[in-house]
A and B are shown apart, each in its own frame.
Chain A
């Protein structure tokens, strides 16, 4: 029942916004819709903790702790972005970013695109997380790309078209490889299918009989899936679409892309990792994941060090963190899996907060470049400045923030598991990112303290920032017991221990 509501509410929200006549109606629709989705996600998490798995329609929909965690994170990001975007888009409308048509029709059309596509985007991510059938899961991931293309082109600039083109084509090629991988996995499990062909692609069935999967085919399937969903997650060297898309999309959409959608791509990868490691042992997929994970971390370092644009800096940061999470998955075991799930949770909070702060900076200073920001952020917008700096410290892994714990756990998993080189490289790349990010962002926020124009109050945006920042601080010291239990549950799904 909950699963059905989780899927229907975003669709209803999208429909309501599509037919709404006034901007206010769309705002209310989105806020109410995402509020409900958030509550349902919590209820679903509670149910999963209680019963282990929830399924519907003969196992067509299926949610375990891993799905519940991804759903909860997606729902939280969606809700916070919904509140933030009310203030953000009102500001855009006033400043003429959405076109200067005096009748307001053009602006209304733009808002309709945003408020209709965002719920559909969330819908496709939810659908992915509850689909048991790996083919259906693929179709849902492809749908996330298709829905979000027009969010990237939202401002209709020359550069947004370029970004959207790269995003759609690179994503399309990647996902066609993922579909090939899914097909090969289906072939690998053909002896299990029996007469009921539909169940032959069900993850729960394949995972149960993983030992019977055809081993040669699973090898090929995993490589294709890693390339495919890796492209979607933005792993190097398939990451080139990422900085473009993130820096051209409206900031709330970029926040969803870089957190919830990243989680979704990783979710697809994790599902196949579980099948492959149960069929071939963790060694084979682990090595490949370590390779791509460390490569992504390594590639992001120079780009962060010389970056001139703060939104692109955040994008390279997401590539770095995708690398961290894939490395954690590659290390595997109880410790690596727990590190991965903790990191996914903490990264989702901190990174969305960073993007929202960047949105405030962008709207006040009207630029994306560090060099063109006159004065200091903290002088113009004290609250945004403080939170931006705090979130930056959190995401580069400064204690006492939570990402320090998860990264520490991953490093420990590396050394415990005897992956000496991986551990050393992990720390090395981490240091590079640390230095680069702190240098640029610290300079931008603290900057020369001249008389910058002070920004007016922004209740919707600052309220969202405060709520998320408070959550980020609290979670650094105390993770609520049910959430921790859910994270542990998800880690157990991954490691099988």
Chain B
């Protein structure tokens, strides 16, 4: 159990590092790949927990995550990028070094919030995982505000969901399987719906810069 917990903590740390890497890089394709790797680690965390706690329903959640968030969604988004032929840099509002500092601050905030959930006398994962989950959520929000490219916002929305997945695992060893199924189905459909929408916006505005969407006022 000790060993399993260490592996899980290590992978959670990697997930957090990847989230900050998203803030630091500027290419959309890289962003999609980082999202895929991050989702892969989440699935591995789930599988590790399933193994050490003998909880078969978490295996199913891990497998579904692998199929939807590591394979289907990234493939779909990469195809979209190829079809729209966008390779250009993402221009963030806040520059990269400052963004990384802000992400660090948000991680600290995540730890503070997670502390209030920490009850040493209860079985369950350490508060490290929950802190990482909350940080993912907060950094996802920040990315959404900071980047004005439509596709980046979709990816940020998906990473919010990754944060929730980790929170679910660390708080309650995952949601019931049927709920997990519903959530992943929604994630898949959401990625597709938003992808189509991005494509149409790109065709109409010849840009993905959502700050150009400003006709509707008042």
Residues of A within 8 A of B (CB): 133, 135-136, 138-140, 142-143, 146, 149-150, 153, 156, 158-159, 161-166, 168-169, 172-173, 176, 179-180, 183-184, 186-187, 190, 197-198, 200-201, 216-217, 243-244, 247-248, 303, 306-308, 312
Contact = CB atoms under 8 A, between A and B. Distances in A.
A183 B168 contact: yes
A197 B157 contact: no
Interface stretch (B9-17, B77-85, B94-102, B180-188): B180-188
Contact of B193 (A149, A156, A217, A303): A149
A146 B205 CA distance: 22
A180 B157 CA distance: 13
A133 B177 CA distance: 12
Interface string B155-177: 00100110010011001100111
A23 to B, nearest CB: 24
B144 A173 contact: yes
Given A138-B183, A162-B213, 10 more contacts: A138-B179, A139-B185, A140-B182, A161-B200, A161-B213, A165-B197, A179-B164, A180-B167, A183-B175, A243-B216
A266 to B, nearest CB: 21
Contacts of B204: 158, 161
Nearest to A159: B215
A135 B182 contact: yes
Contacts of B176: 133, 135, 197-198, 200-201
A186 to B, nearest CB: 6
Given A139-B186, A153-B197, A306 B179 contact: no
Contacts of B137: 176, 180
A183 B172 contact: yes
Contacts of B144: 169, 173
A216 B113 CA distance: 12
A165 B164 contact: no
B197 A190 contact: no
Interface of B: 57, 116-117, 137, 141, 144, 150, 153, 157, 160-161, 164, 167-168, 171-172, 175-179, 182-183, 185-186, 189-190, 193-194, 197, 200-201, 204-205, 210, 213-216, 218
The 10 closest A-B pairs by CB, nearest first: A135-B179, A139-B182, A162-B213, A244-B216, A198-B176, A176-B160, A187-B171, A142-B186, A197-B176, A172-B157
A248 B216 CA distance: 10
B172 A133 contact: no
B197 A159 contact: no
30 contacts: A135-B178, A135-B179, A135-B182, A139-B179, A140-B182, A143-B186, A146-B186, A150-B193, A158-B204, A158-B205, A159-B215, A162-B215, A163-B216, A165-B150, A165-B210, A168-B193, A173-B141, A173-B160, A176-B164, A180-B167, A183-B167, A183-B171, A186-B171, A186-B175, A187-B117, A198-B176, A200-B176, A243-B216, A244-B216, A247-B216
A173 B20 CA distance: 20
A301 to B, nearest CB: 14
A367 B101 CA distance: 50
Contacts of B116: 216
Nearest to B205: A158
Contacts of A186: 171-172, 175
A474 B201 CA distance: 46
Contacts of A197: 57, 176
B11 to A, nearest CB: 20
The DSSP consensus for interface residues of chain B is helix
Nearest to A247: B216
Contacts of A179: 161, 164, 183
A244 B214 CA distance: 11
A160 to B, nearest CB: 10
Contacts of B215: 158-159, 162
B61 to A, nearest CB: 12
Contacts of A190: 172
B147 to A, nearest CB: 12
A153 B215 CA distance: 15
A165 B175 contact: no
B164 A201 contact: no
B216 A162 contact: yes
Contacts of A142: 186, 190
Nearest to B167: A183
Contacts of B178: 133, 135-136, 198
Contacts of B57: 197
A187 B179 contact: no
Nearest to A164: B197
Contacts of A162: 213-216
B203 to A, nearest CB: 9
Nearest to B157: A172
A176 B161 contact: yes
Given A136-B178, A187-B171, A165 B193 contact: no
A173 B201 CA distance: 20
A161 B216 contact: no
A201 B190 contact: no
Given A173-B144, A180-B167, A168 B197 contact: yes
A244 B216 CA distance: 6
Nearest to B189: A146
B160 to A, nearest CB: 5
A149 B215 CA distance: 18
Contacts of A198: 176-178
A184 B137 CA distance: 14
Contacts of A244: 216
Given A139-B183, A146-B186, A172-B190, A306 B172 contact: no
Contacts of A172: 157, 190, 194
